[in-house]
Each structure stands twice: as structure tokens, then as C-alpha cells.
Structure 1
Amino acid sequence: MLSMTNELLAQRIHRHGVHRNGEAIISPAGGLLGWLIDLRRVFLKKEALEEYSDAFWRLYKDRDPFQIAGMETAAIPLLSALVMSSPKERAPLNALIIRKERKTTGLGKAIEGDVTDEPIILIDDIFNSGGSAEKARAIIEATGRKIAGLFVVIDYRSRTGLRWREANAIPVQSLFSLSDFGLTLHPDQASPHQGYRQLWRSAVPGGFPYHVVPKSTPLLVGETLYRGCDAGKMHAFDAASGAILWEYQATGAAVQKGIWSSPAHYDGRIFFGAYNGAVYCLDAKTGREIWTQSSGEWIGASPIVVPQHGLLYIGLEFERPWAQGSVCALDIRTGNKVWERLTKKYQHGSPAYWKGGDLILWGTADHTMAALEAKSGKVEWVFPTRRSVKYAPAIDEERRIVAFASFDKSI
């Protein structure tokens, strides 16, 4: 039985938030949906926010002090309403806004507001699969805090949502369920489910998490993991325990960038670039420097090694106003440059090797995908795109196909 306040709010949701199959409702897969709930229009109404706040505080007014947090943008009016309606006998209510994507400018924050030590109640309008709640949970836990509970307007009680709350041991409280609006979910098929547990964690000082870009990915060789970091260090970790076996400092790397290049391994050696413009070759077992080659001002691309030619391929970046990048091949024994092709823009993209054609395939910020002879660097073909290509392509040797994504939103 709904209270009077909840009944009024339910009527508003019926009128303004529930859309049925008389309207064209497109699913994420491109098909048609029978119904959709969208509460953003509902909570642009003053009366709805008042009814929501009244319902919340009837449940939470006697709780010990807590703070509230919500993911933009649906939760913002809800957070504001709760802060404004907080009972006078309680201490001021602290609120946090969690960004869907970390800002790439300004302070680059993922959370707006000051996180205190009080328990955090996560606020949202709808709880379905748990995708938004999981993102919020991960961001909050990165601050060293945990979510004490989740409060939502409508709980779908979907299979994935139930699994999420069980896995994270987070209680979910709601004002309504789908049945209050005469709606049901289609029975979803049980999907394969894998649980994970943390085996180890190794914190490395100097990280800067606010660049929204691909960074140095870990490379597993035998029982050792290799990975670069923002602090300009290449680390070797014991894969079983996470213990640091060795670390190598790339001096002079750009502040807060360090090593974004993913390492490559060949014949007991590790190869990578750094944001000081140098390419490095280290002994994989000890971290001892074998050679280093200063090739440009910065390197953010990742190398590949083609052993039959004895060459390493990597992208370079320059401070000069002309030919600000290049793609090049270095001798893996010495680091000496064997060939180089200049690009107009910074060369962020990393290469891939097509064995069948003995070609290096390389996307560029010049809005191209180029195929170069591996040994000589001679251009075999160039495919134009409308924007930059900053990721290494995928190659199907058997079908002789190369696939890649461009910043023009095309594959």
C-alpha cells in the first residue's frame, strides 16, 4: 500500500515518465521497445521533487549522519532537492556529484564536492542492470570510501541488478517497483557469470589518473608482468604476488605522463618509449639498460618488434611546427634509426605487422591508415580517413583484412 505522498509521485511518473508502445521507442540494439521509463522530465517539476524529498526523509530522518552521492545528470536534481529539504534538526547534508566521464580540462575531477568520512548513500532515479551503480561504486572506492546503501525511485529487480547488489553487499531501497506501474521485465536468459577476487594490489606513487587516454598496458612474459606508469618508471612485477622485481626510471619525461608506451618483449629484452622522446631497451630479467636512443621530444606510441628484419617500429613526436611526428624503424641491437617517414601531426598511433604481405600497418593523426614495407619503409598504399587513427589496427592474416577505428567514429 503506497502512502499518500508516494501515490501522488506515482501518478506523476505514470503521466510524465512512463512511455508505452504507442510511441516509437528505440532500444540500444536498434529494435523497438514495448515501454520505457524516463524520469528526467518528472523531476523538472517542483511538486515531484518535494514529494520525492518527503518520501526520502520519512525513511532516513532518524539515521545517523550520512552523505549522499549521485551520477550526473539524472541524480543532480534529486541531490539538490535532498540538500535543500534536509531537516533542520540534522547537520547540513553533504552531497557529491559523480561524473560519467572524468573531465579532460580544468581540475580533471571525477567527483565534484568534498568527500567526508560519513557513510555514503548513493542516489539514483532507476536501478536496472547496475551499470551506473557499479561505475559510481568504483569511483567512490578509489577515494578509499565505500557505499553504505543505494536509494532509488524505481527498482527494476532485474537479474543483473540483483546479482550486483549481492556481489557488493550493498542494500538497495526504493520507493517503487515496476509492478506499481503495471510493467514487467521480459525474462532474460541466464548469462555466463564469472566471479573475481583480488589476488594482489601494488600501489606505485606518482600516478596521474586524469588523462582520458590509453596508457601503458601490462605485458605478461612467463611469470613476470611489465608495465610503465605516469611517474616515468617501467616496472617488472612478480605475476603471482605483485612484488616489484625491478624498476627503471626514465629521467626527464614530461610531468604526469611518464611512460604511456606499452612494452614489447623479444629475446630477453623489453622495449618501450617515454615522454622524454627516448626509446629504451632493457634486460627483461634485471632491468639493466642495454641501449637508449633519443629520437624526438615525446613518445606516447607503443613499439612492435619484427625479428626477421631485426627492427623495432615506433611513432615519434616533435616540438617543431612542421612534420610534428614520424613513423620509424630502429635496429633492435643498437637503437640506430634505419628508416623514417615524417607525418604532419603528432604520431600517437601504434603499428601492427602483416606477416603475409611483410607490411607495417600504421594509423596516423594525418587522417590516414598507411601500409609500409617493413624492411625499407616504402609506402605501399594509403587509405584516407576523416579524423585521426590513434590505435593499432587488428589484422586477420588468413582473410587478408585489416580493421581499425578512427576518431571520425567509423570502423
Structure 2
Amino acid sequence: MNKTQTFFAEKIANACITTADKQQIDLDNENPKHWLIDLRKATLSPEVLDCYATDFFERYADQYPFQVAGLETAAISLVAAIVMKSKMLNMPVNGFYIRKSRSKRGLLSMVEGEVQNKKVILVDDIMNSGNSFIRQIEVLEKLRVETPSLDNLSIASVFSIVRFRDHTHYSYFTDKNIDINSILDLNDLNPYIKESAPQLDLHNIKNITTRLTPNNFTTAWHWKGSKPNYFYVIPKSSPLYFNKSLYFGTDSGHFTCLDSLTGKEKWSHLVPFGSKKKLIFSSPCLVHDRGESFICFGAYDGNLYLLNAETGKRKWIFMEADWIGSSPCFSEKLGLVFSGMEYGLFKKQGGVTAIDVHTGKKRWEYRSEYLTHGSPAYSQKYNIIACGSNDKYLHVLNAKTGELLWKHETILEIKYAPCIDEETGCIIFGGIGGNEQNDGRSTVYVCDIKTGHIRAQYNDLYFGIYSTPMLYKNLVIVTGLDKCIHAFHRDTGEAAWKYETPARIFASPIIIDDRLYIGQNSGHFYEINPETGQVTSLSHFTERITNKAAYDPETNTFFVPTFANEIYAIKDSMYE
């Protein structure tokens, strides 16, 4: 241990180590051996920052020139210390920092500061799983690809104050020839920490099961549209796969059809205007009429469109609404398309309308007092349409006539489509928000499809859902705004497992070949064992994923959308 290492080890042991018996760390873990290192208690001290910056230049001076960057917020003070020290040493270094997710205000930036065309050293206070550094690398690599003037941008090294694991854990970095450096690791810290917390015995993590979750996917192609709307961090238009084509709406108002094999555009249809910078948030559905295939979607110009799937030629437009954010569904048996509608009328702001697929004429409509952004779900077996609304009710209607059969009141606005389980005759749904009288808790309901009677409910969820639940065997899987993926038993509401992610989740889950696939707001795309909640693959994207992925079973390709007007086509490498 040199002088710098001893200095940091003593600081951390005396001021930065916290155990659950002294201070609450997690809601449900009071084990005195449960610990956390909070380096922010040290890294805002001038003495610590000066020592840190001095050590940094002793390590990296021979690699000059370079620039330095880090992830908000822990690394901001570290980047600033290095930049200030560089001025004193007459070795000026450019600094910038990367956001965990794109800013929702102001300039909506992902990177704050100027990125120069030279190598970068990434810094952070702690290196545990390595995911924070991976996030930064993915952002910078994408920036280099998209910006011709940054062709020499590269990541030379990652540098942390404390590293939790042996180098063998970090194959992602070594595979990219990125150096890994730290002032201390847990082995170095252990004797110092034992003096203040003798119950702890900290050592570098070596178990092979703790290595980085593999990314089983490779990118086949990437499509990026124009005029991305970063202001709305909510579900937009999910892609639909059909017959080697991919269909989806964009922030620029172009409803687009891509060749699913190449990502090349086949055709697009322009929606000329919208409302409050919203154009197409509706997800398309596939419609069949008299031997032809069509694509149906709504838009914020108030119109519902039916386009020929092959050519993009318009069959009809239904024009009675003021806005449509709802995603339509289709009954081939009845020849009807159903969609939620929104109107600028007092106490008649929403509802569901059934449109004849052949003529584009209204067959029936059902009105509710408040806006209906929620999307309908159809059951042929029970001949019903179920759709939630901002009036906080789930409305269940006769699909042929529009007659109200029953409605279930919740305390939350219902923004997305419910899940219908025809086999057991139930409807599963939830709303956005939480009960302020109960710490923001929310509820997912399992109701009888005929009567609306509650069969089960799940309450271990906060802030609600903005997604459609998924049923796998007897498990309901739902993504929450509490950053968690929840699984509970359909018949009892009893929790089966819960997996916490780093950010909120708007994207609905999908099941492919007994695997669960979910994206979320920090750009993570998970493959999960749906029975256990174990993550089996983790892919990183630079933008938020707020919609579910589409899938082509013939080529085993997933189409992952981001809220930034992008589609990534990714394939499981084991099938290539």
C-alpha cells in the first residue's frame, strides 16, 4: 500500500462505510453484515479531490493528450478535479459527462460538455458490475459512428477509486483492449474496514456466477428516423412484424414500413399534423379483409388509418376523433376494427369506436367522460372488448353492439391495453400512479371476464403500470414504474419473484420460446427466465426503450425500438 492508497483506505473506513444496523440501506434488509460504500462523503472534499487528481496524473501523464469523462452524478466532481489539476500542471484536459438517460428538459442532451476527437479515460468512484462504464462506452461508440468528425474517439482506460471484483470478471473491457485501473480493491480495504466494522470481511468477488451477464445478441442493422421527440418519455408506436416487413409510427409523422431483413424503407405514409408535438403514438395492428392484408393505426391528427400492408396505399380514413393515442385491435370474425378515441368535448372526452373494416364506416360507439388513451383488447371466445380510460374504469363491452356489460373502478387512470386470458376467463390490468394514502402503492387486478368480480390482486407494486401484463403459464408478469419486473400467481395474487432494474419500465413484456424479453428506460434489454426471474442475457442501448420489441421467428430476429425514433434488429448469436 502506497501513501495514496493508505490515505483513501483510511478515509473510506472512517467516513464512507455504512452497515444496515447503523443506517437503513434497503427497505427489507436489516442484516448488520449488509453494507454499502458511499464515496460521495469523501469525493466532495477538496483534500480528497486533490489527492485523487494527483494520483490520476501520476498514472496517465505518459498517455497525454487525452480527455476525461464520467457518468452522472458520482463522476462529475472527479472529472472537475482532473480538469482543474490539468490547468495547474500545464497539461489542459477536456472534460465532459454522460447522462444516465437523455435529459427531458432544455437541450435534451445525452452528453454534457464538448466531446473532442481524441481518446477518453472514463472515471467513476466505484467499479462493481461494470455496467456504469459499459453504459458510457456504448454511448461514445454510437456517437463516434454517427459523427464523422469524431473518427478518432476511443476509450483508452477506465479508472475507479474502489474496484469490487477481480479483473477476470471484466472480460467486456479486456475484449475491447480497455485498461482497468483503480486506486484500491476490496482486498486492500478489508483490514481498514474491520477496525470500524469488525463484523464485515470484504474480499474481491471471484465466483464465476457473478461475472457480467452475457449479451447473447449481435446487431444485424440499425434504423434511425428524423426529428426524434425526446420530450415524451412514454410508450410510443411499437413495431409490428408481418411477412418480412416491419411497421411502426415515428415522431416525424411518417408511418413507416421497413424490409425486416435489411432495414431499408419500403414505403411511408405522412401524417401531416398532430397535437402538442405528438404525431403517431398508436401501435399498429394487422387487419385482413377479403384476401388482402392491411395495417391500421391512429394518430394525433384525430384520424384512424387503414393502409395496404404491401404498398402503403390508403384504403380508408376514419375522421371523427380529435386525437388518437390508442392502439387499435381487430376482429376478423366481426369484420370490425376497435380503437380508443379522444375528443375535445365536455364530459364526452373519450370512448371506444367500432369501424367496419371494409367500408371505414362507424358500426357503433361507446362514450366515456374522460379521454381514452387506453387501448382495447378483444376476445373472440367471449365476444367482448375491454378498454381502460382516464376515468379510472376498465370498460367491458359487447364487441358486436358496444353495449356496456360491466365496468370496474380503480383509483388510477388506465393508459394501456389489458391482458385477456381466454383459457381461464379473466382480464388482467392496472393503471398509472399510486395510492398517496398507501406510500404510492398500486394494484394489478385479475377480474372475471363475465362478471368483473375480482379473482385476485397484486399490491406489491409502486407508482402503477403503463404497459400490458403478460401471462406465462399461471404467472402474471408485469413491468412497473417502480423500476421492477414483477411476477405473481394469477389465481392468488401471491408474489413469485421480482427483479429490480436501474430505471422505470414502460415497455410491455413479450415471451418467445419460454424466455421473457423486456426493455426499460436505461436502455437495458433483458432476456429472463420467466419462472425464476434470473437474467440470462443483457443488451445495452444508448436510448430509453419504452415499447415492447417485435420478433421474426423465421430469422430469430428481435426488433428493439427506442423512444428516439430508432429500431435495432438484433439476433441471438447462438443461432447464427
Q: TM-score, normalised by structure 1?
A: 0.88
Corresponding position: 1:189 with 2:209: yes
**Partner residue in 1 for 2:71:** 71
Q: What is the CA-CA distance between 1:29 and the residue it aligns to?
A: 7.8
Moved more, 358-367 or 159-168: 159-168
User: How far apart, CA to CA, are the structure 1 residues paired with 2:419 and 2:107?
Assistant: 35
Task: Tell me what 2:180 maps to.
Answer: 172
Partner of 1:137: 137
Deviations 1:158-206 (A, max 9, x none): 7995243246554322211121122133836378745222212233333
Aligned counterparts, 1:78-97, within 5 A = 78-90=78-90, 92-97=92-97
Q: Which runs of 5+ in 1 are unaligned?
A: none
Contact 1:281 1:290 in 2 (8 A): yes
SS at match of 1:339: strand
Does the CA-based 8 Å contact 1:280-1:289 persist in structure 2? yes
Which residue, 294, 306, 318 being the options, matches 2:319?
294
Q: Confirm whether residue 112 of structure 1 aligns to residue 112 of structure 2.
A: yes
Deviations 1:229-256 (A, max 9, x none): 1111122222112222222222234575
Separation in 2, partners of 1:28, 1:130: 25
| 1:19 match | 18
Cα distance between partner residues in 2 of 1:29 and 1:149: 37
Question: What SS does the aligned partner of 1:6 have?
Answer: helix
CA contact (8 A) 2:384 2:396 kept: yes
Residues 195 and 19 of structure 1: CA distance in aligned 2, closer, same or farther (over 3 Å): same
Indicate whether 1:40 and 2:53 are aligned: no
1:403 is aligned to: 428
Q: Is the deviation greater in 319-328 or in 184-193?
A: 184-193
Matched position secondary structure for 1:48 = helix
Residue aligning to 2:406: 381
Cα distance between partner residues in 1 of 2:143 and 2:426: 44
Q: Residues 207 and 256 of structure 1 are in contact (CA less than 8 Å); yes or no, is this contact kept in structure 2?
A: no
3-state SS of 2:62 partner = coil
RMSD, matched Cα: 2.9
Higher strand share: 2
Q: Name which of 237, 253, 258 aligns with 1:232.
A: 253
2:150 equivalent in structure 1: none
Share of identical aligned residues, percent? 34
In the alignment, is residue 259 of structure 1 matched against residue 259 of structure 2? no
Farther off after superposition, 327-336 or 262-271? 327-336
One-letter amino acid of the counterpart of residue 109, structure 1: S
1: CA distance, partners of 2:52 / 2:425:
59
Distance 1:31 1:284 in 2: 57
1:201 pairs with one of 222, 228, 237: 222
Aligned residue identity for 1:48: V
Select between 225-234 and 209-218 the one with higher mean Cα deviation: 209-218
Contact 2:325 2:373 in 1 (8 A): yes
Offset at residue 264 of structure 1 (A): 0.7
Distance 1:159 1:281 in 2: 56
| Contact 1:260/1:300, CA 8 A, preserved across alignment | yes
> How far is 1:108 from its partner?
2.4
Which structure is richer in relative contact order (CA contacts within 8 A, separation 6 or more)? 2
Match of 2:159 among 124, 144, 151: 151
Cα distance, 1:359 vs structure 2: 2.2
TM-score (norm 2): 0.65
Report Cα offsets for 1:201-235 as digits up to 9, x if no partner: 23333333442111211111121111221111122
Measured after TM superposition, the shift of residue 312 of structure 1 is: 1.3
1 CA distance for matches of 2:220 and 2:66?
32
The aligned amino acid for 2:330 is V
Partner SS, residue 11 of structure 2: helix
**Separation in 1 of the partners of 2:177 and 2:374?**
42
Superposed displacement of residue 279, structure 1: 0.9
- What amino acid is the match of 2:10? Q
* 2:393 alignment partner in structure 1: 368
Distance 2:233 2:53 in 1: 36
Q: Residue 2 of structure 2 corresponds to which residue in structure 1?
A: 3
Paired with 1:287 and 1:90, the residues of 2 have a C-alpha distance of 61
Distance 1:137 1:262, change over 3 A: farther
SS across alignment from 2:184: strand
Tell me how far apart the structure 2 counterparts of residues 94 and 143 of structure 1 sit (CA, whole Å): 17
Aligned twin of 1:220 = 241
Contact map agreement 2:16 2:42 (CA 8 A) in 1: yes
- Quick one: distance in 1 between partners of 2:63 and 2:25? 41
Give the letter aligned to residue 81 of structure 2.
Answer: A
What amino acid is aligned across from residue 77 of structure 2 in structure 1? P
SS of structure 2 residue aligned to 1:309? coil
Which range is displaced more, 26-35 or 108-117?
Answer: 26-35
Q: 1:91 to 1:361 in 2, by over 3 A?
A: farther
The alpha-carbon distance between structure 1 residues 118 and 363, as it changes in their structure 2 partners (threshold 3 A), is farther
Determine the C-alpha separation between the residues in 2 that align with 1:355 and 1:388: 26
CA distance in 2, matches of 1:350, 1:40: 45
| Aligned 8 A contact 2:248 2:255 in 1 | yes
Asked if 1:334 is matched to 2:354, the reply is no
**Change in CA separation of 1:249 and 1:310 when aligned onto 2, cut-off 3 Å:** same
Shift of 1:36: 2.1
Structure 2 gap ranges (5+): 145-152, 191-201, 435-441, 445-576
String of CA shifts for 1:33-65, please: whole Å, max 9, x gaps: 633222122223332222222221221233333
User: Aligned with 2:139: secondary structure?
Assistant: helix
Asked if 1:325 corresponds to 2:346, the answer is no
Assess if the C-alpha contact under 8 Å between 1:389 and 1:407 holds in 2.
yes
Distance 1:146 1:372 in 2: 58
Aligned partners of 2:350 and 2:389 also within 8 Å: no
Is the 8 Å Cα contact of residues 217 and 262 (structure 1) preserved in structure 2? yes
Contact 2:248 2:256 in 1 (8 A): yes
Q: Which residue of structure 2 aligns with residue 56 of structure 1?
A: 56
Deviates more, 1:393-402 or 1:123-132: 393-402
> What is the number of equivalent residue pairs in this alignment?
410
| Number of the residue aligned with 2:415 | 390
In 2, Cα distance between equivalents of 1:336 and 1:138: 49
Q: Is the 8 A contact 2:169 2:206 kept in 1?
A: no
Q: 1:23 to 1:242 in 2, by over 3 A?
A: same
Contact 1:25-1:35 within 8 A present in 2 as well: no
Cα distance 1:387–1:57, how it changes in 2: closer, same or farther (>3 A)? farther
Amino acid across the alignment from 1:189: T
